[in-house]
Structure 1
Amino acid sequence: MTYSIVARDAKTGEFGIAVASRFFAVGAIVPHMAGGIGAIATQAFISPLYGTDGLQMLKAGKSAEEVLEAVIGRDEGRHARQLHLIDAQGRSAAFTGEKCIDWAGHLIEENVSVAGNMLAGPGVIAETMESYLKNADLPLVERLLTAMEAGEKAGGDKRGKQSAALRIVRTEAFPWLDIRTDDHADPLAELRRLHDVARERFLHVAETLPTTENVSGMLDRSVIDRRIAELEAERLASGRPSASFATPPVPAP
């Protein structure tokens, strides 16, 4: 009922997961990840423990393959589940239970894996993977969105469309970007819009957040504030509307 891509940017070390499904709020249960640790997507007849426990195993130093063997090895329900993940070294592992509903399967490459079940056919994950690999020049978030759109063009979830999500982590346990559309007729297009909204302000503010290396974060926000103001001025000058649905700001009294 879902297809997803799990990736690690070899240049930056960022991890990303993108997922789409004809199922409500897929982003609430499929992706599990932490910066510098790894990323896990658990789907089909889902076990959230594959994600939560698997992430703890990655933190303890287990490889992607060791995590996969551990979580499916103890689970009598594994035959109807699907899992794919990447560890901090970019090693991928994947499992598709034989009772997952056709079409179901996965593909693995270095630093990236794609998996899906209840799909229109094998072309969904093949096109998703091909798009990701051929767009290596794009930032990770753009590569993931473009790859998912290629999978949708190949048929996507054979039942239709409802929800989608995209999450990126950098060095921290918390995400750098975490956007979801839980109930929408065109969820990937809505993810595109949300990313456009994030680019207007949110992602610039994200650069100021505290990290484990700098627990105070960016104390002088003037550079970021100027950049946001410049982008806003460029947008207004070009006549482009904001991508956001937010109400206009209320002037200070």
Structure 2
Amino acid sequence: MTWSIVARDPDTGHLAIAVASRFFAVGSAVPYMRGGVGAVATQAFVSPLYGVDGLVMLGEGRAPDEIINALTARDDGAEQRQMHLIDANGRNAAFTGAKCIDWAGHLIDDQVSVAGNMLAGPQVLEETLATYKSLLKAPFAERLLAAMEAGEAAGGDKRGKQSAALVIYRDQDYAWLNIRADDHTDPLQELWRLYQVAQERYLHVAETMPTRANPHGLIDRREIDKKIASLEAERIASGRKSASFATPWIPT
């Protein structure tokens, strides 16, 4: 029902999962992640335990191949499932059960893997991976979205489109970016719009949030307010409309 990309940015160590499907709210079912630990995508006949327990095992330092073997060995339904994962060092592995609905399969490369089932054909994964690898100088989020878009153009989920998600973790236990289109006629395009909206304010605020190393975060918000106001003024002056659907804010 799904195809996804699980990746580690070699320059930053950031982890990400991008996923799309002809299934409602795929972003609530497939991605599991923890900054500095790893990322797991569980799909096909989804087992949330693959994600939950897979992250625990990654946190224990177990190798991705070992984790797949442990999770599938205890599961009588494993042949209907699919998963791929990566650890904080870039080691990765993937599994596609023999009973996953055609076309189903996976590809593994350096610090990135793609996997899918119920796809139009192997070209979906091939184009997703090729596009990701061709954009290594682009921002991580844009690389992932463009890769998924290429997979969609190659046929995507053979049943059609409904939902998509992009989740990126840096080195914290919370996401730096987590955007979803749960029920949409063109969910990947909706993710592009949401990513544009995030750049207007959200991602700048995200830089101020407390971290384990700095539990205070940015205390004086005037600095970030000034930056956001400057970007907003620049956008208005250039004649660009906001990507957001938000109603205007009228200060009282």
What's the TM-score once normalised by structure 2's chain length?
A: 0.99
Segment drifting more, 183-192 vs 57-66: 57-66
Unmatched runs of 5 consecutive residues or more in structure 1: none
Q: Give the alignment of 1:1-253 within 5 angstroms.
A: 1-252=1-252
Aligned partners of 2:223 and 2:104: how far apart in 1?
48
Deviations 1:175-225 (A, max 9, x none): 000000100000000000000000000000000000001011111233322
Aligned partners of 2:18 and 2:70: how far apart in 1?
24
Where do 4+ consecutive residues of structure 1 move more than 3 Å? none
Aligned partners of 1:59 and 1:137: how far apart in 2?
29
CA RMSD after TM alignment: 0.7
Letter in 2 for 1:14: H
Segment drifting more, 220-229 vs 79-88: 220-229
Q: CA deviation at 1:64?
A: 1.1
Deviations 1:48-96 (A, max 9, x none): 0000010011111111111111111111100000000001110110000
Q: Secondary structure at 2:171's aligned position in 1?
A: coil
Q: CA deviation at 1:101?
A: 0.5
Letter in 2 for 1:149: E
Aligned partners of 2:59 and 2:156: how far apart in 1?
33
What's the TM-score once normalised by structure 1's chain length?
A: 0.98
Aligned partners of 1:49 and 1:126: how far apart in 2?
28
Aligned partners of 1:251 and 1:87: how far apart in 2?
46
Aligned partners of 1:38 and 1:164: how far apart in 2?
20
Deviations 1:141-172 (A, max 9, x none): 11100000000000000000000000000011
Unmatched runs of 5 consecutive residues or more in structure 2: none
